[in-house]
Structure 1
Amino acid sequence: MGDKHNIVKIKDISKSGGQLIRISLTDLMPLPPPYDKLDMEPLMTEPKPEWSKNYVTELDGYIAIDIPWKPKGKDEEDRLVKKFLDGLRKLTSKNDNWTFLQPLLLALEYCAKCQNCAEACPIYVASGRKEIYRPTYRSEVLRRIYNKYIAKKPGVDIELNVYTILRLGELAYRCTLCRRCVQVCPLGIDNGLITHELRKLFAQELGIAPKALHERGTMLQLKTGSSTGMNPKAFLNMVKYMEDLIYEKTGKKIKIPVDEKGADILLIHNAGEYLSWPENPAAYAIIFEEAGINWTLSSELVGYDAVNYGVWYDDVQLARIALRHVEVARKLDVKKIVVGECGHATKAFIVVADRILQGEYRIPRESVLPLLRDIVLSNKLNLDPNKNNFPVTLHDPCNIVRLAGIVQPQREILRRIAPLFREMEPHGVYNYCCGGGSGFAIMTSMNFTEWRVKVASRMKFKQILEAFKDVVDSGIPKYVCAPCSNCKGELRDVLAHYNATKLYNIHYGGLAELVVNAMVDLKEPYLDFLIKKRIGTPFISWFM
């Protein structure tokens, strides 16, 4: 034990090769029963021939980076390779990578190639175990480039050229950053982090990122106030619309507070909620009014949109938006900021932003889910769980549950208000990503949506079917509770693709809507699908 020559080091048991092989396309593995009614077309359609001139289609035929970035000559190719290596030097330098340098270097040094992560990856499994989607694949490519060209280690088997860089750039957008791989890794190697850092290299050094994340994402948010393009005037109009919506649905006249100074809470929703699911922020207005919460929204630029797409691809953009959120809160002199039902906003502002919010900028920040749990369990609301007497299952947003560690509050709420609640398997910190993580849910250009719904979301759809397997063909309504705006966006696309609402009466929505639906003094259901289903049918008869 004392002989230093007998000590086994982690690097001594790692392999120097493997996993990098030529790949051919094959069809996906079939879904589990019931799948007889589902659309089972092949994995992909052929990309348009003209796309290959300017976009990278050589990886797997799909295009995530929807800007023309293929070099058109040898000089451009050489410049691309040089810029990539310059970016990699900065990425692995303490003077340039101020967010995740240490875990990145450890991940590049100590992977044991055990492949425990492979079976944990929903994309790898759902693709029929395609080698390029194995979590260690892109990591191993970057590791070899780093070892040969930056660390200058001898005997490394890789030749860097423009084609490697082109494919690696696209491959960085075949991972949802769900970090399920790191959870099963015996060494804690974070392949999701390596993917994130790759995206950062391409964005910051090469100016390459999907338009939905950069041009129509963080840049649009900083310019107009929201990644949706909603400016402050449009936001105030939306608040008025929600007040009308609340009155129409509940008969309650509620004045939603905006720009109220000195409030206990500044609530910031993902702005996508206002445009696509206004019943969710409206539900919080109802709940907070009933519970006597001292809160406010903000109409300041960026202050009404919790979205922070920088968390997926660029730390500088993340910092700009996070600092803007704090400035808005300080101007209103609120006690804390509460982030609504949005996974990536929770990750960006509550977890990652800890690295930049210091001193006077260190304002208390938390997710809305523990607060909602406290309200429900304190009996401040008069609730009747039988009003939610239909099967409900829970999707765990990766960035809320696995990253931020918020696991039980949403379950405590559902056990109180949903008598037919059942878990997905696996669930909690072992959940599968919805398939829309890391920005995928908003990336709809070219043919990328097809890859999302057929590959990235396949395991989640499998879980949903299995959670409702005892009632899937019964005709009764079923509800997938997804307390995350981006997850709801992905579920919308997946359920539509497989026609699941029509075939199986499966619906989706947030958590706050279920709470309001259980309120005793509502004469009609708050959830629209219940209103339609209940016409002429006694509610309890669904389960007789």
Structure 2
Amino acid sequence: MSITDRIISDVGLEAGIAGLTTERIQEVVTKTLAGETGAKLKAYKETCMRCGLCSQGCHFYMSHDEDPSYSPVSKATETMYELMDTKGKVTPERIYEMAQIAFTECNLCKRCAHYCPVGIDIAYVMITVRRICYLLDVVPQYIRDTAHSHSSTMNQMWVKDDEWIDSLQWQEDEARDEFPDLRIPLDKEGADVYYSVIGPEPKFRTQLIYQAAAIMNAAGIDWTMPSHPGWDNSDMCMYVGDWENMGRIKRAHYESAQKLRVKRIVMGECGHAFRSIYDMGNRWLGYKEMPIPVIHAIEFYWDLIQEGKLKITHKYEKPVTIQDPCNVIRGRGLMDKLRDVVHYLCEEVVEMTPNREHNYCCCAGGGVINCGPPFKNTRMKGNRVKAEQLKNTGVKDIVIPCHNCHGGIEDIIGYYDLGMHGKFIGDIIYELMEKPEV
């Protein structure tokens, strides 16, 4: 099925192409290719043999009965490679099609790169397409609104400064009923750990802040959270191609931690935020090294186990399987540490097949879930293979150390009626950890 046959109406894309001209498209494409890309993109296009070996790596391709139009090489050919061949001389309607492919039919998960015999990173190719679409103002409405929230409030959920502080104080008050000596220290200078989270946590997952505070308290960690903007480590600007605001919010995150002179940043269980901090936002800013060491929650929990600071009363008894988030597994190589942590906590672990760096994407990452309701069916049908992979484990509980993976997999569970349930690592630690008798 060609992209023309599966066009979905989206007000953001429609408004974007309404006043667009071929001349404007050419201007933006020419400027972007000349000023923001280079030898890497040209080498990818020239070395791609159109062999199709990348196809088996794509959940969209596998879930649509190996329809070649969903293969990674087809997506690259129908978007970036066409723009390069035509020097941007395409119609606005063609840009709409390219935007739909780039924003909603590719999760930038990089699984296909493991199958390419010459190592082409199609995720880089597709995010460059998104950059061009952003510069043309052709972006799905829902993810556009989220990026606007970042640019306006420095967090993705329009959380006001006083609401952020209120949420932390609320969770501290709640937690002190269970842990009388617990505090959520704000703006503590020189702390060992600066703990950062994503926007949805203070908005509707506040229990995760409660649990993190409980773990920090029980482990005796010298930690803090900031009262000022910069606390949100997530980054939809990265996924719409708004590099300018991506750099701005990453600088705010680093400078927030630098202001408090902390020793390291520990990021909560989120994959894309981690990618934006250590792999993309920092590079856009021109940092040779990260200004402050950054670790993901998986690494932090692993450290606590190694140091004997994480004490549990018993192991989780029900069998679990493990979701490998793309951005911390393929992107950071934390597959073994993740398993060390889960095996420490759980009696029985049933691996998905395939797993680790070859695990299938949740189909929510890469900003795809943030493109909103118009494209939900695209996500659900585009990851039938994930549903089959989950079902084949025969377990009911999934350890999912990433927010977007939670959203995507919970949608898949509902759509395919799998009867499963996702858990953060923090959920399990909190359930098993020693607690004071009050």
TM-score scaled by structure 2?
Answer: 0.92
In structure 1, the residue matched to 2:425 is 511
Q: 1:418 to 1:370 in 2, by over 3 A?
A: same
In structure 2, the residue matched to 1:416 is 344
* Residue 59 of structure 1, CA deviation: 4.7
In structure 1, the residue matched to 2:232 is 305
Separation in structure 2 between the aligned mates of residue 488 and residue 252 of structure 1, nearest angstrom: 31
TM alignment of 1:97-116, pairs within 5 A:
97=36, 101-116=38-53
Residue-by-residue CA offset, 1:220-279 (whole Å, 9 max, x unaligned)? 12322321111121111211232244345x455411111111112211111212333323
Of 56, 74, 85, the residue aligned with 1:119 is 56
Residue-by-residue CA offset, 1:310-364 (whole Å, 9 max, x unaligned)? 2212222211111111221122121222221110001000122341253797222
Separation in structure 1 between the aligned mates of residue 209 and residue 87 of structure 2, nearest angstrom: 50
Of 52, 60, 81, the residue aligned with 2:22 is 81
Indicate whether 1:179 and 2:104 are aligned: no
Separation in structure 2 between the aligned mates of residue 245 and residue 462 of structure 1, nearest angstrom: 40
Separation in structure 2 between the aligned mates of residue 323 and residue 59 of structure 1, nearest angstrom: 42
Q: 1:71 to 1:304 in 2, by over 3 A?
A: closer
Separation in structure 2 between the aligned mates of residue 84 and residue 461 of structure 1, nearest angstrom: 39
TM alignment of 1:87-166, pairs within 5 A:
87-93=28-34, 96-97=35-36, 101-141=38-78, 142-149=80-87, 160-166=90-96
* Residue 289 of structure 1, CA deviation: 1.3
* 1:82 alignment partner, SS class: helix
Indicate whether 1:498 and 2:435 are aligned: no
Residue type matched to 2:233 in 1?
A
Indicate whether 1:208 and 2:146 are aligned: no
Whichever of the two has the greater Rg, that structure is 1
In structure 2, the residue matched to 1:463 is 389
* Residue 145 of structure 1, CA deviation: 3.6
In structure 2, the residue matched to 1:221 is 150
- Residues 268 and 339, structure 1, Cα contact 8 Å, conserved in 2: yes
Q: 1:160 to 1:179 in 2, by over 3 A?
A: same
Separation in structure 2 between the aligned mates of residue 211 and residue 70 of structure 1, nearest angstrom: 10
Separation in structure 2 between the aligned mates of residue 435 and residue 523 of structure 1, nearest angstrom: 42
- Residues 64 and 443, structure 1, Cα contact 8 Å, conserved in 2: no
Indicate whether 1:332 and 2:247 are aligned: no
Separation in structure 2 between the aligned mates of residue 225 and residue 123 of structure 1, nearest angstrom: 33
Residue type matched to 2:102 in 1?
A
In structure 1, the residue matched to 2:300 is 371
Separation in structure 2 between the aligned mates of residue 492 and residue 244 of structure 1, nearest angstrom: 30
TM alignment of 1:21-100, pairs within 5 A:
23=1, 58-63=4-9, 66-69=12-15, 76=19, 79-93=20-34, 96-97=35-36
- Tell which has more relative contact order, 1 or 2 (C-alpha 8 A, sep 6+): 2
- Residues 338 and 366, structure 1, Cα contact 8 Å, conserved in 2: yes
In structure 2, the residue matched to 1:529 is none
- Residues 29 and 83, structure 2, Cα contact 8 Å, conserved in 1: no
* Residue 425 of structure 1, CA deviation: 1.1
Residue type matched to 2:142 in 1?
A
* 1:393 alignment partner, SS class: strand
5+ residue gaps, structure 2, are none
Separation in structure 1 between the aligned mates of residue 10 and residue 339 of structure 2, nearest angstrom: 35
What is the CA RMSD across the aligned residues, in angstroms? 2.4
Indicate whether 1:241 and 2:170 are aligned: yes
Residue type matched to 1:133 in 2?
Y
In structure 2, the residue matched to 1:488 is 406
* Residue 452 of structure 1, CA deviation: 1.3
- Residues 63 and 448, structure 1, Cα contact 8 Å, conserved in 2: no
Separation in structure 2 between the aligned mates of residue 184 and residue 339 of structure 1, nearest angstrom: 30
* 1:408 alignment partner, SS class: helix
- Residues 385 and 416, structure 1, Cα contact 8 Å, conserved in 2: no
- Residues 185 and 224, structure 2, Cα contact 8 Å, conserved in 1: yes
TM alignment of 1:339-488, pairs within 5 A:
339-355=267-283, 356-358=285-287, 362-386=291-315, 388-445=316-373, 447-455=374-382, 457-468=383-394, 478-488=396-406
- Residues 154 and 249, structure 2, Cα contact 8 Å, conserved in 1: no
Q: 1:160 to 1:381 in 2, by over 3 A?
A: closer
Separation in structure 2 between the aligned mates of residue 390 and residue 187 of structure 1, nearest angstrom: 42
5+ residue gaps, structure 1, are 1-22, 25-56, 151-158, 472-477, 525-544
Q: Quick check: which one's helix share is greater?
A: 2
* 2:142 alignment partner, SS class: coil
